């Protein structure tokens, strides 16, 4: 890598950091202003207003980076090249025989490096902090929980609902599970004080299926005198009468619909792509087309970022403008047009008017040929 390559790459990274900090600052100021009273009260309880802000928004900066990474990379690349024009460095480089395409090379490398960071952040870092990210300014301790979005287990037709969900310990408060007619041997309703979701595991050499361990069961009563319910030799509801590892006031509902999948949409925002795909493959879950559109959009996200870059670079390298604000304005126009098409295609996919794959790939089918056409000066 030559000296000019390192110079451009350093300027690109500096610009990307500046714009990232700017976006985080705007988000923090706007969001904190609306929840100022909650932060002040929490600061008095936990030892400092600034410490609370840092803890709360420090983790959320990861989400801001994920949501704005494409825009940050494009604006940083255009700002770097426009700065060269403004200081007459671009003219000197062109006079030295360095082509426009050669100047774009370190910026493309920088975008590829940042793309790797974005993917790692989305698939590894954000899922690791999802318990913290699921908390709101009105519930720092997580004691209030999240509202439950009731969902069917499409393998057994059991209707799973409850008062609130707690992701930190995979718990549902006041669970209410409604059994279908063919499984309502002990009544239509199963109610308890709380339920804990457990993944499939082996304890003392005995395999246990995935599902909810209900404690302090209020309905049905007299569990010790009842028998477990099976569907085609598959366990659905285990009771202590014939399940030794259950206490007398406990029962176990076998299902693969985890707490994360009934706690609103938080699991989709903060789960990794692999986890979402695994949930889609489960016969117990049947998510709408919006989830499938989201998976395809995640897969093609690096290609979308590169497409935005090749749409924006020619706007700077093909004209002699030293006005940084004009370059940023052109960048915003490109981003606006691109994301309008993306939003339209996703809306069509979410409403089953086109397939999820088409909803994600159509914007690339439209803008990649345009990017190739606009990038002609870079290849000369």
Residue-wise pLDDT for 151-169, tens only, equals: 899 888 999 999 888 887 8
Question: pTM of the prediction?
Answer: 0.80
Helix (H, G, I), strand (E, B) or coil at 117: helix
Helix (H, G, I), strand (E, B) or coil at 253: strand
How many angstroms from the chain centroid is the CA of residue 30? 21
What is the DSSP-derived secondary structure letter of residue 287? -
Rounded to an integer, what distance in angstroms lies between the CA atom of residue 64 and that of residue 35? 18
Greatest Cα-to-Cα distance within the chain, rounded to the nearest angstrom: 91
Q: How many other C-beta atoms are found inside a 10 Å radius of the C-beta of residue 233? A: 5
What is the DSSP-derived secondary structure letter of residue 259? G
Rounded to an integer, what distance in angstroms lies between the CA atom of residue 167 and that of residue 266? 10
DSSP H/E element including 71: helix 49-86
Rounded to an integer, what distance in angstroms lies between the CA atom of residue 127 and that of residue 133? 9
Evaluate whether 73 touches 16 at the Cβ level (below 8 Å).
yes
Q: Tell me, letter by letter, the H, E, C secondary structure of 22-70.
A: HHHHHHHHHHHHHCHHHHHHHHHHHCCHHHHHHHHHHHHHHHHHHHHHH
Main-chain dihedrals φ then ψ at residue 234, nearest 5 degrees? -100, 125
Rounded to an integer, what distance in angstroms lies between the CA atom of residue 162 and that of residue 172? 6
Q: Tell me, letter by letter, the H, E, C secondary structure of 338-360.
A: HHHHHHHHHHHHHCCCCCHHHHH
Neighbouring C-alpha atoms within 13 Å toward the C-beta of 13: 12
Helices 3-34 & 36-46 angle (0-180, nearest 10): 90
Beta bridge partners of 215: 194
What tens digit of pLDDT does each residue of 289-331 get? Answer: 888 999 999 999 999 888 888 887 777 766 554 555 666 677 6
What tens digit of pLDDT does each residue of 320-362 get? Answer: 545 556 666 776 787 788 889 999 999 999 998 999 999 999 9
Of 218, 173, 160, the closest CA to residue 192 belongs to 218
pLDDT at 328: 65
Q: pLDDT truncated to tens, each residue of the chain (380 aa)?
A: 678 888 888 989 999 999 999 999 898 888 888 887 878 777 777 777 788 888 888 889 999 999 888 888 888 888 887 777 777 776 677 767 676 677 778 888 888 999 999 999 999 999 888 878 877 766 666 667 788 888 899 888 999 999 888 887 889 999 999 999 988 888 899 999 999 999 888 887 778 899 999 999 998 888 888 889 998 888 999 998 888 888 888 999 999 888 888 886 667 788 889 988 888 888 777 778 888 999 999 999 999 888 888 887 777 766 554 555 666 677 678 778 888 999 999 999 999 899 999 999 999 999 988 888 877 766 66
Of 133, 126, 122, 113, the closest CA to residue 299 belongs to 122
Q: Show the beta-strand stretches assigned E in 148-228.
A: 151-153, 158-161, 164-166, 171-173, 176-178, 189-198, 201-203, 206-208, 211-219
Neighbouring C-alpha atoms within 13 Å toward the C-beta of 49: 8
């Amino acid at each position: 890598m030559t000296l000019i390559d390192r110079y451009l790459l350093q300027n690109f990274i500096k610009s990307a950091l500046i714009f990232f900090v700017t976006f985080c600052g705007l988000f923090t100021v706007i969001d904190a202003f609306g929840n100022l009273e909650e932060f002040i009260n929490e600061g008095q309880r936990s030892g400092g207003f600034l410490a609370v802000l840092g803890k709360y928004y420090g983790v959320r900066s990861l989400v801001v980076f994920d949501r704005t990474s494409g825009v940050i990379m494009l604006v940083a690349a255009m700002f770097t090249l426009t700065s060269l024009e403004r200081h007459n460095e671009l003219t000197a480089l062109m006079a030295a025989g360095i082509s426009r395409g050669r100047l774009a090379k370190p910026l493309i490398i920088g975008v590829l490096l940042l793309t790797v960071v974005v993917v790692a952040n989305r698939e590894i870092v954000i899922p690791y902090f999802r318990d913290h990210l699921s908390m709101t300014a009105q519930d720092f301790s997580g004691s209030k929980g999240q509202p439950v979005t009731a969902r069917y287990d499409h393998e057994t037709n059991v209707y799973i609902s409850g008062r609130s969900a707690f992701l930190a310990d995979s718990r549902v408060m006041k669970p209410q599970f409604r059994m279908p007619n063919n499984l309502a041997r002990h009544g239509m309703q199963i109610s308890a004080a709380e339920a804990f979701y457990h993944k499939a595991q082996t304890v003392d050499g005995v395999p246990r299926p995935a599902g909810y361990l209900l404690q302090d069961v209020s309905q049905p009563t007299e569990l010790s005198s009842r028998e477990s319910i099976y569907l085609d030799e598959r366990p659905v509801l285990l009771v202590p009468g014939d399940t030794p590892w259950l206490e007398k006031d406990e029962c176990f509902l076998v299902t693969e619909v985890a707490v994360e999948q009934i706690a609103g949409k938080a699991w989709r925002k903060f789960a990794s792509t692999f986890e979402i795909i695994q949930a889609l493959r489960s016969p117990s879950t049947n998510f709408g087309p919006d989830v499938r559109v989201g998976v395809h959009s995640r897969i093609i996200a690096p290609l979308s970022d590169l497409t935005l870059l090749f749409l924006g670079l020619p706007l700077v390298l093909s004209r002699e403008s030293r006005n940084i604000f004009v370059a940023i304005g052109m960048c915003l126009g490109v981003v606006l047009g691109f994301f309008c098409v993306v939003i339209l295609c996703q809306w069509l996919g979410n409403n089953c008017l086109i397939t999820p794959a088409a909803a994600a790939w159509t914007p690339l089918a439209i803008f990649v040929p345009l990017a190739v056409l606009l990038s002609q000066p870079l290849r000369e």
